[in-house]
Amino acid sequence: MVEEKIPSSVLRHIPVLADFLLEKVCFPPNAILVDATVGYGGHSLLLGARLGPEGMIIGLDVDPQCIETARSRLEGLPCRIILERENFDQLKDVLVQQKIDTVDFILADLGFCSGQIEDPRRGLSFQQPMPLDMRLDDRLEKTAADWIHRTDEKKLADLLYQYGEERASRRIARFIAEQRRHRPIQTTTELASLVCRALRQPDHRPGRKIHPATRTFQALRIAVNDELGCLERLLKAAPDLLRPDGRIAVISFHSLEDRIVKHDFKRNQAAGIYELVTPRPITANADERKANPRSRSARLRIAQRKTDGTSARSARNDRGR
């Protein structure tokens, strides 16, 4: 019933790798789950259906619109729902405020929702002219336009190389620096055309798999939102926030994120803190790829906090677990 009020952009966002996630994660009806990137509540809706009135979902998102959408979508669940507009790198503080020491499950489905990329105010897409913003959290000070206009050419090139794995980073940075000397670059389509000119590639080429500006846009989005730093801080906090046997699942959408998750899980495995539930990343099968193109680049890794993990605190939460 609630779904009838939800805009179509929300319903178009299909939670990625949900079947596999549900298969690999089991918890009692009174579990405490953290959805660190609640988005439109797609994963939470599925996970929450397994909880009873004693269970709880704590959902975080930096985007207040996502929080509101998730609130109306999740209101019919039987469990307690706590939704906060908060960066997931602050998860520990959120749990402290709720007087919770440890949780049963942490999910982070990284990146952005379909509706966010279509939202013209966010400037995440070069399919239509949008202001160069790219902030998922509009409390952040610097927009993509600020990064483009205030970063010196060499640093900009390094950023495009490091976060976009863009081999032509120096050439693109040179074109940007040259352009901004004459006139500011104001829209996503202007930037995309500039990148195409730098790469000597046309904007539209039928059958091309990725647009030439994709890597530049990824790099800027990562820088604007400090995506890798936030992920590292969440992963660092996680072992102390999971109860023994609790699990953490991360769905990433590019190799930089996946590499960070892989190394973190392996480091914690070597330290006797985690067991790897997925020794290799799980990817979408052909059916899911067809039904949901976003799932094509998704990689899911799950780790389980060991019962006798040595370095993390052996804390229990106040619910007697």
| List of residues contacting ligand SAM (CB under 6 A) | 13, 15, 37, 39-43, 60-63, 66, 87-88, 109, 111-113, 136, 230
Taking the complex as a whole, the smallest distance from the CB of residue 271 to ligand SAM amounts, in Å, to 25
Considering the complex, what minimum distance in angstroms separates the CB of residue 276 from ligand SAM? 22
- Smallest distance from ligand SAM to CB 56, Å: 17
Q: How far is the CB of 270 from ligand SAM (least distance, A)?
A: 26
CB of 113 or CB of 195, closer to ligand SAM: 113
CB-nearer residue toward ligand SAM: 60 or 130: 60
What is the closest distance, in whole angstroms, from the C-beta atom of residue 21 to ligand SAM in the complex? Answer: 10
Q: What's the min distance (Å) between Cβ of 136 and ligand SAM?
A: 4
Q: At what angle do helices 227-241 and 255-270 cross, to 10 degrees?
A: 30
Which H/E stretch holds residue 92? helix 91-97
Q: Of 60 and 312, which CB lies nearer to ligand SAM in the complex structure? A: 60
Nearer to ligand SAM by Cβ, of 171 and 289: the residue is 289
- Sequence-ordered list of residues with C-beta below 8 angstroms from that of 290, at least 6 positions apart, any chain: none
Nearer to ligand SAM, 27 or 253 (CB): 253
Which residues make Cβ contacts (< 8 Å) with residue 126, sequence separation at least 6?
188, 189, 191, 192, 211, 213, 217
Q: How far apart are the first and last CA of the chain?
A: 35
Specify the residue, 15 or 246, whose C-beta has the smaller distance to ligand SAM. 15
d(CA 130, CA 122): 7
| The two three-digit tokens of residue 82, written as one number | 């706590």
Q: How far is the CB of 197 from ligand SAM (least distance, A)?
A: 31
- To the nearest 10°, report the CA torsion of 38, 252, 288, 280: -130
Q: Which is nearer to ligand SAM, 70 or 195 (CB)?
A: 70
Nearer to ligand SAM, 87 or 292 (CB): 87
Distance of CA 150 to the CA centre of its chain: 26
Which H, E and C letters describe 98-114, residue by residue? CCCCCEEEEEEECCCCH
Report in angstroms how near the CB of residue 201 gets to ligand SAM at its nearest: 29
**227-241 and 214-225 helices cross at what angle (nearest 10)?**
50
Residues 6+ apart with CB under 8 A from 188: 123, 124, 125, 126, 128, 129, 130, 131, 132, 217
Distance CA(303)–CA(15), nearest Å, equals: 20
